[in-house]
Amino acid sequence: MEISLYQLLTPLVAIVAILYAWSLVFRHKKTLWEGILWTIFWGLVAAIALFPSVMTYISSLMGIKNRENAVFITFFGVIFFIVFYLVMRLEELEQKQTKIVRKMALKNSNLGEEAPENN
């Protein structure tokens, strides 16, 4: 079996990406869930690069006639999942921002504290 440059570089990039993701998880900048998803995604990319014949099995399992279409459809699904996840994170960040702005507004208007008595 002859190994191409792509088959050498892709797993190396995948390992670097996985290690980077887990360093972010351990520094509490990313969640455990994000680390697991990142590992699965890059692990699959590395596996497909090392063993391209796997795509033949996946394409026949999915009912797709050739490997190229199976790769395209698989990664298209992964990208949709990532976009969905990013939209959910964005909504979560918007809610946090709204809470912070409300707290700041209450603090600045003195409604969050007892009003001083006028003499």
* Owner of token pair 């504290």: 113
pLDDT on residue 23: 93
Q: Are 58 and 70 in contact (CB under 8 A)?
A: yes
> What is the C-alpha separation between 69 and 18, in angstroms, rounded?
26
Total count of domains within the chain: 1
Look at the alpha carbons of 15, 21, 22, 24 in this order and tell me if their dihedral is positive or negative: positive
- In terms of Cα–Cα distance, which of 29, 31, 27, 28 is closest to 39? 31
Domain contains 13: yes
Please indicate whether residue 116 or residue 111 has the higher confidence score (pLDDT).
Answer: 111
99 backbone φψ class: left, alpha, beta (φ>0; ψ -120 to 50): alpha
Domain contains 41: yes
Domain contains 80: yes
Please indicate whether residue 119 or residue 12 has the higher confidence score (pLDDT).
Answer: 12
Domain that residue 11 falls in: 5-108
Domain contains 113: no
Question: Is the model's pLDDT at 93 over the cut of 80?
Answer: yes
Q: What is the pLDDT of residues 45-91, one digit of tens each?
A: 888 888 888 877 877 787 777 777 777 777 777 787 788 778 888 98
